[in-house]
């Protein structure tokens, strides 16, 4: 067995960068423990606040954010934190080289029903400012709190999976993850169909037509409603995740957030051989205009993403 600590020590990266990943892993292990007991401790409800994006915060959104903040404060190599749950970036008082952008609890609408949720993080060079392209990320990862807690990490070259053990350590369980280039599964919230653009309609209609249509094969649709859970499934067995621009999200730029949802997931997917796009541009090439900026997100198996891009290219 190889622990996360042993694996990090063997990586050809700055040990201080590795320590940032270790910090996020430690925060995730603590969040996993809180989530495991939340229905008993009565922590599944609303916090009674809204975040900067006008979304009702759950008690566990706030608790998870506090856990991340607390762990980050103890790592002298982190000087900046951007979080979904904090209006402004937090400057932590030290000279640390790194910035973390995080969604401390992703998919929190699924908390009441004991469905997988997660923590997403992105690590950047703090000296380069808050608004950097996703391609500048030095590391990214997420924890998926499912039947097992999985930690999936990349430094940009490959994607590695760890599993939380009973003693609180993460054990290496899969290296060199590869997203299959083709797939018969897609993930999109079809309740929004009436709001979709022509490209999304065209791509999904082909999938629904299955073996009787131009795709020439049968598809299945899967939508957990926790990005972490949907992306984890895609990393493990292929597929495509879509939260495209639609007539309702167009005024906000999209639904999901660039710095702490789209970018880290795009880095993890690309490092595993998949692709990511807004439909018109590679997600990792976008220059952010704000820390809570929203973007369209389409990522997963290369052939499927390329097919969607083909539809966007038509109009």
Residues forming the site for Mg ion (CB under 5 A) = 84, 103, 105-106
Q: Which stretch binds ligand FBP (CB under 6 A): 12-20, 154-162, 220-228, 288-296?
A: 220-228
Closest of 148, 156, 146, 152 to residue 175, by C-alpha: 152
R_g of the chain, CA atoms, integer Å: 19
Q: Of 235, 183, 223, 170, nearest to 23 (Cα)?
A: 170
Q: Which is nearer to Mg ion, 84 or 304 (CB)?
A: 84
CA 231 to CA 293: how far, in whole Å? 20
Q: Is 261 annotated as contributing to ligand binding?
A: yes
Among 226, 249, 276, 301, binds ligand FBP (CB under 6 A): 226
List the beta bridge partners of residue 247. none
Q: Which of 236, 209, 212, 239 is nearest to 223 (CA)?
A: 239
For position 189 contacting ligand FBP by CB under 6 A, the verdict is: yes
251 is in an annotated binding site: no
Q: How many residues bind ligand FBP (CB under 6 A)?
A: 11
The reply to whether 146 sits near ligand FBP by the rule CB under 6 A is no
CA separation for the pair 208, 218 (Å, rounded): 8
Task: Tell me: does residue 107 bind ligand FBP (CB under 6 A).
Answer: yes
Residue 87 assigned ligand-binding role:
no
Closer CB to ligand FBP, residue 132 or residue 226?
A: 226
Q: Per CB under 6 A, which region of 1-9, 40-48, 100-108, 156-164 contacts ligand FBP?
A: 100-108
Nearest residue (CB) to ligand FBP, 204 versus 227:
227
CB of 85 to ligand FBP, least distance (A): 9
Rounded to whole angstroms, how far apart are CA atoms 204 and 257?
23
Residue nearest to ligand FBP (CB): 227
Task: Confirm or deny that 106 is annotated as ligand binding.
Answer: yes
The answer on whether 85 is annotated among ligand-binding residues is no
Q: Of the candidates 143, 175, 258, which has an alpha carbon nearest to the alpha carbon of residue 2?
A: 175
Q: Which does 77 bind (CB under 5 to 8 A by kind): ligand FBP, Mg ion, none?
A: none
If one asks whether residue 253 binds ligand FBP (CB under 6 A), the answer comes out as no
> Which residues, numbered 68-87, are part of the site for ligand FBP (CB under 6 A)?
84
d(CA 207, CA 79): 46
Which is nearest to 81 in space by CA: 100, 104, 94, 62?
Answer: 100
Question: What residues contact 285, with CB distance under 8 A and at least 6 apart?
Answer: 133, 134, 135
- Which stretches of the chain bind ligand FBP, using CB under 6 A? 55, 84, 103, 106-109, 189, 225-227
Residues placed in the known binding site for Mg(2+): 84, 103, 105-106, 261
């Amino acid at each position: 067995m190889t622990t996360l600590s042993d694996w990090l020590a063997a990586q050809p990266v700055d040990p201080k960068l590795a320590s940032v990943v270790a910090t996020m892993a430690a925060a995730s292990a603590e969040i996993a423990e809180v989530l495991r007991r939340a229905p008993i401790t009565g922590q599944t409800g609303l916090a009674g606040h809204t975040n900067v994006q006008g979304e009702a915060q759950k008690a566990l959104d706030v608790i998870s954010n506090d856990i991340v903040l607390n762990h980050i404060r103890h790592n002298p190599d982190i000087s900046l934190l951007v979080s979904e749950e904090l209006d402004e970036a937090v400057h932590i008082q030290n000279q640390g080289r790194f910035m973390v952008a995080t969604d401390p609890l992703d998919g929190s609408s699924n908390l009441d029903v004991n469905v997988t949720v997660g923590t997403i993080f992105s690590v950047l060079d703090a000296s380069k400012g808050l608004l950097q392209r996703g391609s500048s990320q030095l590391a990214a990862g997420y924890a998926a709190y499912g039947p097992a807690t999985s930690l999936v990490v990349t430094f940009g070259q490959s994607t590695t999976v760890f599993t939380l053990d009973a003693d609180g350590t993460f054990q290496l369980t899969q290296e060199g993850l590869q997203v299959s280039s083709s797939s018969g599964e897609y993930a999109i919230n079809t309740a929004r169909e009436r709001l979709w653009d022509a490209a999304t309609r065209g791509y999904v209609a082909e999938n629904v037509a299955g073996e009787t249509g131009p795709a020439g094969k049968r598809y299945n649709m899967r939508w957990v409603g926790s990005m972490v859970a949907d992306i984890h499934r895609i990393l493990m067995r292929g597929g495509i995740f879509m939260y495209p621009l639609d007539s309702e999200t167009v005024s906000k730029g999209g639904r999901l957030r660039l710095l702490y949802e789209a970018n880290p997931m795009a880095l993890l997917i690309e490092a595993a051989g998949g692709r990511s796009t807004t439909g018109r541009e590679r997600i990792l090439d976008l220059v952010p205009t704000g820390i809570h900026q929203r973007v369209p997100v389409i990522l997963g198996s290369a052939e499927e993403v390329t097919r969607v891009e083909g539809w966007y290219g038509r109009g």
